[in-house]
Amino acid sequence: MTEIIIIRHGETEWNQTGRFQGHSDVPLSETGRTQAEALGRNLALDHVDAVYASDLTRAMETAAPLAARFGLGVISDPLLRELNFGAWEGRSFSDVNAENPNAMKQFYNDPECADIPDSEPFPDFQKRVAGRVRAIAELHRGKRIVIVSHGASIRILLADILAMPIRSIWHISQLNTAVNKIRFEDDGFAIVTLMNDTSHLRGVGQ
């Protein structure tokens, strides 16, 4: 059995202000750094064999305290990045909605058909993230691996594993530093054993 623990990054200022982050390299906020420290300190694990993270700063910063606890470095991986939001990157949700409410409605109701100029198509996004996570699981068979990634990345992975349509991904909650666990059997069959857990943040701003 191989266990993948995939965690969303901590809070950023762009999370606070409701802006599309995507591939933009936004660091953690003060609250996000506190969340990452709590994750590293409180997550109930007796060992970890490797720690991967998206190469974006907010993911690497979130992974660092947990990796340090187990004497590990963080393996930076651009394939674990968030969706590339193209022309929406850096823009606020409210501004995009005011400019084109139909596009925002489509984004949430049928993201595969979302009209976002220069963005990454959702099917390509799913192949990128789910393919990389499955490759990591195969590379580390029988081990426990932590991956720190992003909200939409984790949702699109869970949709792949649960055979959900892509249009359902926004029905899955992913809070900052939410912990999800996936068990991969030797034949590649995957079972989600935990979703969106933030019990490590008790007493910490969420």
User: Which member of 82, 89, 150, 200 is catalytic?
Assistant: 82
| Residues forming a β-bridge with 191 | 183
How many CA atoms does the CB half-sphere of 103 hold within 13 Å?
A: 15
Annotated catalytic, 89? Answer: no
Q: Give the span between the Cα atoms of 196 and 153, in whole angstroms.
A: 13
Long-range contacts at 120-127 (CB < 8 A, ≥ 24 apart): 120/83, 120/84, 120/85, 120/86, 122/83, 122/156, 122/166, 123/166, 125/83, 125/84, 125/152, 125/153, 125/156, 126/156, 126/157, 126/159, 126/160, 126/166
Q: Give the span between the Cα atoms of 144 and 1, in whole angstroms.
A: 9
Is 11 marked as a binding-site residue? yes
Is 13 marked as a binding-site residue? yes
Are residues 57 and 27 in contact, defined by beta-carbon separation less than 8 angstroms? yes
Is 30 marked as a binding-site residue? no
Q: Per this entry, what is the length of the chain?
A: 206
Strands (E), 44-158: 50-53, 74-76, 144-149
Is 61 marked as a binding-site residue? no
User: Which member of 9, 23, 150, 200 is catalytic?
Assistant: 9
Annotated catalytic, 9? Answer: yes
Is 200 marked as a binding-site residue? no
Binding residues, by number, are 8-15, 58
Binding residues for substrate, by number, are 8-15, 58
Task: Indicate which residues carry an active-site annotation.
Answer: 9, 82
